[in-house]
A and B are shown apart, each in its own frame.
Chain A
Amino acid sequence: MLAQLDTIQTEALAAIAGISDEASLEEVRIAFLGKKGSLTAAAAGMRDVPADQKKDVGQKLNEVREAITSALEATSADLIAKKDAAAFASIDPTLPSRPLPKGGLHPLTLVLDEAVKVLRRMGFALAEGPEIETEWHCFDALNTPADHPARNESDTFYFENGKLLRTHTSSVQIRTMEKEVPPVRIIAPGSAFRRDEIDATHLSAFHQLEGLYVDQRVTLADLKGTLEYFFREIFGSKTEFRFRPHFFPFTEPSFEVDIKLHAAGRPSKWIEIAGCGMVDPAVFSEVGRKRGDAAYDPDKVTGFAFGMGLDRLAMIMYGIPDLRLLIENDVRFLQQFR
């Protein structure tokens, strides 16, 4: 009996070893383990085994069944794995990707968003105002003399009713102070317009980012600290910049901020990047006159304001040589900013 079982095992393993498809494997399984299979038949002979051998034969029977079953399973798994592999064998993973439409944001949006992120971390909230402005909001309230050249029709777009297209986002300073009481800590991104023919460095409409902080004890040192932090966040902690005394009608003292630009293969140079200063008391007085209250009493509040050109910032950050690229919407240009 034990010898017969050894023979069955040898025959079965030999049969399994020669198999290359699942159907033949099933036939082999039936031939040995099926109802009429040889091992099943041998198991039926257990009842004729003498009692003292029953234990050994039973154990042997289990060993043989185990060996055949595991050989069947291993071969089956092997066959399935081969079939699965064959199913994907024709795929060439080095083919180019199946395309998806690709889009992206305009470089001005990216620059603005970068600036807004930093300034929001610094506690500035956004503000806005109309682009079609009154002369009062754009010039008078900002301490600009009545015969200032910026008011010329040759420099500023006007409408028949006397309103104009704002020449700077500084008008939002006035709009905000009209509505809110100090402390005011705002930034206002937006369009501004100047009557310039369009060329590589001029657009008739451009983008600015205005900032204003008014409170009881705002100082020039705060302005310095704020802009230094801002520009280091934008251009890196090693950025060199300088505050150059300048003149604006609505701030005093006034400065322009230059950063040092390092371009490969060229001598580094200072590039003007922002204008800033302490809000001129005359601006507070005019706002107070309009409000009819003392919220902006120039003896009680001080403030700083700053403004920068986003188009210029984009040109510097991305090395864009010509402003017109920013309004032509050529996809070959836009896709460089994805």
Chain B
Amino acid sequence: MNVSLQWLGDHVDFSEYSIQQLDELLTFAGIEVEGIESLPNHLVVAQILSSEKHPDAEKLSVCQVDDGSGKPRQIVCGAKNYQVGDKVPLALPGCVLAAGEGKSFEIKEGKLRGVDSLGMMCSAKELGLAADADGLLILSPDLKPGTPMAEVYPAVFELEITPNRPDCLSHLGVARELAALAKKPLKGRAHFGETNTSARAAKADEVRLESGACPYYTARIIRGVKVTESPDWLKQKLISIGLRPINNLVDITNYVLMETGQPLHVFDLAKLEGGIVVRQAAEGETFLALDGKEYTLEAEDLVIADAKKAVAIGGVMGGEDSGVTETTTDVLLEAAYFNPQAVRRTGRRLGLHSDSSYRFERGVDPLQVAGVSEFATKLILDLAGGKADAELVVAGCPGEGPQPVALDNDYCRRIIGAEIPDATIDGILASLGLEKTGGAWKIPSFRLDLVRPIDLVEEVARVHGLDGIPATTMATFASASKADEAYDFLRSLQDRLASLGFHEARNLKLISGAQLADDLATSHRGMSPVRLKNPLNDEQDYLRPGIVPGLLASASRNVRFGTSDLRLFEAGRVFVASPKGDEIEHEHLALLMTGARIHRSWADSKPKSLDLHDLRAVLEAICPEGVNFVPVSDGKLLCACSVEIGSGKKAVKIGMAGIVPPARARELDLDAPVMVAELNLKKLMSVVKTEIRFADLPKFPGSSRDVAMLVPGDLAAGEVAAFFEGYDESLLISAELFDVFTDPTGAKLAPDKKSLAYSLLYRAPEKTLEAGEVEAAHGKLLDSLKKTFHVEFR
């Protein structure tokens, strides 16, 4: 909402406040100042003394103007809408004007088509006072040349009023609030709750309320009005806050709205057929609104109708056909209270919002309705003439206003945590217009937000401010929660991965349907991806069931921007739905590696590409227990492996790893092999040792034997490793694969064979083994290997 400083001045004298001080006053009232518009320096009122044709330009004139200095100033001007003697805004050299889109330009002395021009006369648009303008802004003839324009158009504050404070959606409301905070008197009335109007209940054929959404409606007939232009003071007020003057009647309703916060509507009485009926719309009823658009209404919408048709959408907008025109002579002035929920629902459904609906949605003061109607009637009679009916026609009842609220000052002090004296508490509440009567506070009718004791505590805290209360730090001890353990576990993984050369990525959790194809489907057998009902677009319509799709997109983007050696990881939430439709959330960790194993440098000018074994090394570095890669068939990856910790029946599957099919990788501009893994963090955490126990160091040396064996080319090393793992020989400590040899040419080795060489370590805990003991154990092992794999030893 725009609030003009000058307009506020009608209610409170803030003349000694700087704009910055007012900004602060508003801010600490809880009213956010989103912007302040004020006219620049070196911009003054000037009177046009003469105007002659430019010697060399058809469309330009050369004017002499009085800028207040006593010496005429020459300005070349292209506008045509002025007359000699008019007063206009003049930007003097040095004046900086906004040029839109955050840019600005400075006025300088110059020549236009060879004629000196010592400044610029301005339109309303050039000063940011209107969106459009036709020619110069013609100012009031009463202004003195040389007067700074900042005095003519004082600053305008763009305010954000929080939804709990609809009473501040008017100049009077803001003034009332600031006056209380600045401890200043209001010049006039604090609100329009009292009225001298005599009222009478509406007859059934005058106003009939058929909907609970409008509990209170008033109408006043005024006959013989003359619709004309508004006087300058009124036009200037509306322009100053960004509204366009239309005619005196419409301008009055807008002015009264911005002044009091109570929306009004004026119907052309000649266009109403019969009395007013406030009713729910008929399903499918169409309505042509003032904005020129036709709306199709539903039964939940509230309309103001005459005997035949809807003439307004209650609280939202009037109709094109029943509004005031230049020929209007008799009018019906509507002032009413509409139910906030009803107005909000209709406005939202129709996408139709107005200054009126904005206020009704948040709540207007029902007790002010009649008073504001009276205020507006008086303005209409003053500015448009005519004669008003003596009585206000009233249907329904405005209610009794807010209930008194009792506040225990100890409760207030207990919540705030400061020894604020009773006098201070009472003083703050009284300054806001509350009255202590008996044991409770009487709430002003416009403060719809003050219902409970805590609401009064808020007022005390707000006005008192936090500067004056102590900063205390009461605390209790906290035990580590499950979330703490998970956080620490992940943090250690993050640090390890960063040390291993990985950059941490964070992708949006919303992905496209197409990206689902990249998901490794690690933790959702029988599960389905979760789709949004109202996605923003089809690039983000699914919640990610895994992280790899996002990492692939990140890798693709990096390669396109020139970084092709990549190690990325990401940890976070993933989502799937069970067959029953329950959403399940897991924490995952995903890794992606592609490109060279090390950046090319003098030390290695032809580095090798990363491969699956590098990925496994990384997984083993973050899982001290070691991981097993168990090949599985999976259409989505080459060399797809289930990543497992432990073996045999105790094996825990923690995720999947493999190579992205090159065809898919190339679609993403990834030419080098791309290795990915996706792990379930909770499973990983469950198998990682939390307790570490010391084991005795070996006291006696061990003895090692190497064995090289020929095996079928397709025998997985993992099977041999599993053999050693399960081999029952207490002396065998370890078996390390130190060579894998194949020869596709068949020269040294049959092409369908491979040679695996292991180093085997034998050791006994209690003594140094003798050669014979080692040989015996080793011989037994070789026999067993031979039986199991039909190997030949080399």
Contacts and interface: CB of A to CB of B under 8 A. Distances in A.
Interface of A: 95-96, 98-106, 108-109, 113, 116, 120, 122-128, 130-132, 147, 149, 152-153, 157-161, 163, 165, 183, 185-186, 188, 191, 193, 195-197, 203-205, 215, 217-222, 224-226, 228-229, 243-247, 252-255, 278, 280-281, 302, 326-332, 334-335, 338
A94 to B, nearest CB: 12
Given A125-B484, A222-B474, A253-B462, A302 B415 contact: yes
B341 interface: yes
A127 B27 CA distance: 33
B504 to A, nearest CB: 4
Contacts of B345: 147
A329 B568 CA distance: 9
B601 interface: yes
Contact of A185 (B418, B478, B585): B478
Interface string B469-485: 11111111111110110
A159 B28 contact: no
A28 B470 CA distance: 91
Contact of B506 (A160, A193, A326): A326
Contacts of A243: 465-466
Contact of A96 (B534, B572, B598, B601): B601
Contacts of A331: 503, 558, 563, 566
Contacts, number: 236
Contacts of B312: none
A318 to B, nearest CB: 14
Interface in B479-512: 479-481, 483-484, 486-487, 491, 494-495, 497-510
Contact of B534 (A158, A220, A252, A329): A158
11 contacts: A103-B497, A106-B506, A128-B486, A132-B583, A153-B533, A157-B532, A196-B536, A221-B416, A226-B473, A247-B164, A278-B454
B506 A127 contact: no
Contacts of A130: 583, 585
Interface string B510-536: 100000000000000000001111111
A44 B494 CA distance: 77
Contact of B30 (A95, A100, A244): A244
Chain A interface, >50% SS class: mixed
User: Chain A CB within 10 Å — which of B457, B478, B575 has the most?
Assistant: B478
B509 A126 contact: no
B509 A220 contact: no
B772 to A, nearest CB: 44
A101 B454 contact: no
Contact of B598 (A100, A147, A196, A204): A100
B538 interface: no
A185 B475 contact: yes
Nearest to B461: A253
A329 B554 contact: yes
A159 B582 CA distance: 11
A103 B501 contact: yes
Contacts of A183: 476
A158 B454 CA distance: 33
Given A132-B530, A224-B471, A329-B554, 13 more contacts: A96-B602, A99-B599, A105-B494, A109-B494, A109-B504, A160-B533, A186-B478, A220-B417, A228-B471, A243-B465, A244-B28, A254-B458, A326-B506
B108 interface: no
A325 to B, nearest CB: 11
Given A125-B484, A163-B583, A334-B504, A132 B567 contact: no
Contacts of A196: 536
A140 B780 CA distance: 72
Contacts of B113: none
B506 A108 contact: yes
Central interface residue in A191, A203, A225, by most chain B CB within 10 Å: A225
Contact of B415 (A205, A219, A326): A219
A331 B564 CA distance: 10
A157 B581 CA distance: 17
A332 to B, nearest CB: 7
A79 to B, nearest CB: 32
